[in-house]
A and B are shown apart, each in its own frame.
Chain A
């Protein structure tokens, strides 16, 4: 039986998302262990240029380039994925637990009567058995799960779960032409992509997060500046979003987004459990708070006890000169 691996590719604002390269990197490693092939699966419209970008990373690239797939819809995407999965019979389908992934994959799993493990952060193969690592209860517990009684399994991963490995595979492109029908029960009437909002919060390598200690929305400017120097994003705690200083889409924590950047800098964030649940898988955590007893220091690698409004301008200048040196 085939042990081939499908990776569902996502793109945004005309480029392949970072999380897709992460999945391709991990997917290739798994495919080598399973002596199988890695397929990048690309659904969209007018995606020729993007397909080229994927070639170094996959053994084969299945491209379905149809106008009906221009915008993501559960109906057209589920139908197309179902068709491809039935045709190629992969063993694993890997995707990202992005907004698209969370919408598509459960529906696809139900369609195929296949097991799904969502929002995982790791995967291993030993003796042909897959072991999937998934945090539950807000990261308080790590579960290791596997799938059984099924020829195909679907797994979605949090962005930033894997590192990107440069490869030179030069995969073969397979163009599939499929007749696609839109479900007439659903009609998009307005799509607002909100301008190009820089880096996606969940995909960002660097996050500068403001808490109640920031004192007001006007003080987030310096966080924006620091985030821009780092090429990252500003995040916010629940208190900040509830006070309407920042939009909900910036919220990190139990009721917001779960992030695992390379570097998280918490500024005036107290470290309440509902917040740390959303960021404690960050690789490196820095906390700046004037209260030496703030809970956030229990989660941090590095801490500074001082007034934010002294530290942040100094941090901005320090990072700026670092960047100029480089």
Chain B
């Protein structure tokens, strides 16, 4: 089985993020990781390869040169090959442009199954998976929590639906996005890390994927950032004092009713 995994390098949750003077760009502390939900996709691909004979896993990202680090993490975990689609000077706020590039790559590379995380934790969009599937005219399933292979043309997946779970049979080729709970992503072994350091990671020109430079440029974007701001902070916390728990609770309920007006 030819498995393709899309990943993204994202700012660490703890990274400091500042708004630059123009209010239109961000300064991000140099702390980056493989996106939390993409780790599940990488792990699931590796597990699948262990179950299905003659499988190959390729991982790719549309990112800057720095994103190679996230690709190396995936290699250290156990994927076979990584590709960087270099977005230097082309980084976009429009998920549809990213999806078109990834779909172009998938077409060129060939695949039976595509896996990616259910969303990136930086822009919190969660659009890429379903968009790529639509562009490739293949089925998709969002937020899967279980994956089994029925035969070489069919998989069985369990995914979140409103208030419950659904199990579906899906014909390959297909695209699946991974949700927490599907597996426990492995921590790379030192031998994996060594292998990843040495791995050759080809750099792909996004303009070689069937899309013109104009279509990739910032002018083609249908999404425009107007400004960034920091969220309004809350006023300082009001600590509620009292002799007994009952007294504290009484004061709290009074404040929630009369001051905050939520009860």
A-side interface size class: 35 or more
Q: In this complex, what residue of B is CB-closest to A248?
A: B181
Neighbouring A residues of B130 by C-beta, 8 Å: 74, 103-104, 106-107, 110
Neighbouring B residues of A137 by C-beta, 8 Å: 11, 17, 122
Question: Which one of A37-45, A61-69, A314-322 contacts B?
Answer: A314-322
A211 CA to B174 CA, complexed, in Å = 38
- Whether A148 contacts B224 in the complex (CB less than 8 A), given A187-B169, A192-B164, comes out as yes
Q: Contacting A306 at CB < 8 Å: which of B95, B123, B248, B263?
A: B248
- Asked if A306 and B245 sit within 8 Å, CB to CB, the answer is yes
Q: Is the interface of B mostly helix, strand, loop or mixed?
A: mixed
Neighbouring B residues of A114 by C-beta, 8 Å: 222
B93 touches A (CB below 8 Å):
yes
A245 touches B (CB below 8 Å):
no
- Asked if A102 and B17 sit within 8 Å, CB to CB, the answer is no
Q: Is the interface of A mostly helix, strand, loop or mixed?
A: mixed
A88 touches B (CB below 8 Å):
no
In chain A, residues 175-197, which have Cβ atoms closer than 8 Å to a Cβ of chain B?
183-194, 196-197
The distance from the CB of B187 to the nearest CB of chain A, in whole angstroms, is 16
A301 CA to B222 CA, complexed, in Å = 39
Q: In this complex, what residue of B is CB-closest to A273?
A: B13
- Asked if B168 and A189 sit within 8 Å, CB to CB, the answer is yes
- Asked if A147 and B222 sit within 8 Å, CB to CB, the answer is yes
A91 touches B (CB below 8 Å):
no
- Asked if B224 and A111 sit within 8 Å, CB to CB, the answer is no
- Asked if B167 and A302 sit within 8 Å, CB to CB, the answer is no
- Asked if B127 and A109 sit within 8 Å, CB to CB, the answer is yes
B74 touches A (CB below 8 Å):
no
Known A116-B127, A185-B170; further 14 A-B contacts with Cβ < 8 A: A12-B162, A98-B162, A102-B142, A106-B128, A141-B231, A142-B231, A145-B93, A150-B222, A183-B139, A186-B170, A200-B162, A303-B237, A306-B248, A311-B248
A75 CA to B140 CA, complexed, in Å = 9
| Residue in A115, A147, A263 whose Cβ sees the most chain B Cβ within 10 Å | A115
A107 CA to B99 CA, complexed, in Å = 11
- Asked if B123 and A136 sit within 8 Å, CB to CB, the answer is yes
- Whether A144 contacts B226 in the complex (CB less than 8 A), given A273-B14, A315-B249, comes out as yes
The list of the 8 closest CB pairs from A to B, nearest first, reads A115-B222, A194-B164, A110-B134, A106-B127, A106-B130, A185-B171, A310-B245, A190-B167
Question: Which one of A48-56, A215-223, A279-287 contacts B?
Answer: A279-287
A84 touches B (CB below 8 Å):
no
